[in-house]
């Protein structure tokens, strides 16, 4: 009897109205839980793999652009994977899941130079990636030691070529190492100008620049962002930029192409995903990054780094990288440079 009364009392307390309210409350909790799960699934963190050490221009610009796309893509973190001239980090991009959550930087070294410089590559630059957009380019600049320029009366690119032809084997130039962008630009310049200058490789760009500043070498092909401070200080004299047209950052300095038609070589990088990433995902990423690259804030920040934003379609970036890969095959083979 006690049990029946207890059950009866409980049944009275749990009226039909209360049953409806309880069911509704449980339903809300369940739906809320599902909503949270769905939101968590949508808010997965994206990563951009930078195949170089922190602090360099590629790393700095990658962090800048990651900040600019957070409103459209959510949290984006930078993961540095340096080593083997960028090959280690780029290989990690190629082997990541093609879901749009792992993308990375493709640079002139990793996608145009290294495939011809290394005898064995862990990835295929032409087939293992889905291009998203180019990010930017940084002009290289032919700079000569200011004291050397005064001593030899070299004020223009034509003066340098004229002196080299009249004084065979008396000029030399430095670079950050065999197969570096500075080395290949120098070899391409020598061939197009019909001159000879001894190449002196150093262990990195900074030692090469110090050698130029101290007069150990006569000229270098340096990154504009790196050389600009010494150009402004009058320690280095800029003779020409290596881009097809003059740089907005140095409008008074001619392009080498104004003297040597068709000459064009610069530093560039962009964003790629693993091959097999769905087209709609690539389209979404392209839209977000292109908008960020075209923003006035990004352009102003890049300009302070002597970099020029290049926002394009996946197809345009793919065509550009294909052309660069073919160009550097000729340049690297002509230079005879090898890393291993």
Mean confidence (pLDDT) of the chain: 87
Q: What is the per-residue pLDDT across 23-53, written as a single tens digit (0 to 9) for each?
A: 444 443 444 433 333 343 355 899 999 999 9
Q: Are residues 58 and 108 in the same domain?
A: yes
Q: Are residues 212 and 314 in the same domain?
A: no
pTM beyond 0.85: no
Residue 225 inside a domain? The answer is yes
Long-range contacts of the stretch 289-295 (C-beta < 8 A, 24+): 289/65, 289/69, 289/132, 289/133, 289/135, 290/133, 291/69, 291/72, 292/65, 292/68, 292/69, 293/65, 293/133, 293/135, 293/136, 295/68
The structure tokens listed for 274 are 């693993």
Q: Are residues 77 and 157 in the same domain?
A: no
Q: Are residues 132 and 90 in the same domain?
A: yes
Q: Are residues 146 and 222 in the same domain?
A: yes
Q: Are residues 154 and 247 in the same domain?
A: yes
Owning domain of residue 90? 46-137+266-335
Q: Which of 258, 285, 309 is the last residue of a domain?
A: 258
Q: What is the per-residue pLDDT across 236-272, written as a single tens digit (0 to 9) for each?
A: 999 999 988 888 888 899 999 999 999 998 889 999 9
Q: What is the per-residue pLDDT across 139-149, written as a single tens digit (0 to 9) for each?
A: 899 999 999 99
Residue 25 inside a domain? The answer is no
Q: What is the per-residue pLDDT across 98-150, written as a single tens digit (0 to 9) for each?
A: 999 999 999 999 999 999 999 999 999 999 999 999 999 888 999 999 999 99
Q: Are residues 83 and 99 in the same domain?
A: yes
- Yes or no: say if 238 and 253 are a contact pair by the CB < 8 Å rule: yes
Residue 91 inside a domain? The answer is yes
Number of domain units in the chain: 2
């Amino acid at each position: 009897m006690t049990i029946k009364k207890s059950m009866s009392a409980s049944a009275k307390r749990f009226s039909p109205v209360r049953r409806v309210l309880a069911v509704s409350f449980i339903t809300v909790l369940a739906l809320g839980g599902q909503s949270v799960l769905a939101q968590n699934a949508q808010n997965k963190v994206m990563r951009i793999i930078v195949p170089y050490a922190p602090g360099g221009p590629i790393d700095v610009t990658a962090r800048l652009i990651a900040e600019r796309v957070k409103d459209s893509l959510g949290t984006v973190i930078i993961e540095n994977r340096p080593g083997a001239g960028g090959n280690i980090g780029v290989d990690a991009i190629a082997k990541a899941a093609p879901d749009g959550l792992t993308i990375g930087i493709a640079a002139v070294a990793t996608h145009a130079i290294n495939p011809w410089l290394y005898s064995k590559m862990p990835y295929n630059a032409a087939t293992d990636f889905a291009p998203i957009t180019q990010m930017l380019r940084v002009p290289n600049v032919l700079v000569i030691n200011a004291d050397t320029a005064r001593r030899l009366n070299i004020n223009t690119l034509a003066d340098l070529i004229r002196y080299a032809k009249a004084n065979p084997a008396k000029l030399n130039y430095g670079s950050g190492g065999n197969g570096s962008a500075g080395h290949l630009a120098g070899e391409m310049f020598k061939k197009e100008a019909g001159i000879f200058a001894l190449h002196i490789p150093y262990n990195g760009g900074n030692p090469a620049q110090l050698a130029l500043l101290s007069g150990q070498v006569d000229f270098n092909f340096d990154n504009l962002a790196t050389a600009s401070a010494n150009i402004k200080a009058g320690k280095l004299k800029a003779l020409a930029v290596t881009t097809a047209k003059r740089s907005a950052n140095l409008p008074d300095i001619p392009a080498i192409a104004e003297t040597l038609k068709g000459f064009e070589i610069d530093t560039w990088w962009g964003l790629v995903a693993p091959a097999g990433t769905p087209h709609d995902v690539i389209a979404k990423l392209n839209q977000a990054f292109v908008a960020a690259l075209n923003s006035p804030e990004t352009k102003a920040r890049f300009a302070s780094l002597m970099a020029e934003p290049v926002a394009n379609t996946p197809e345009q970036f793919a065509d550009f990288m294909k052309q660069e890969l073919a160009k550097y095959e000729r340049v690297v083979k002509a230079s005879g440079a090898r890393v291993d």
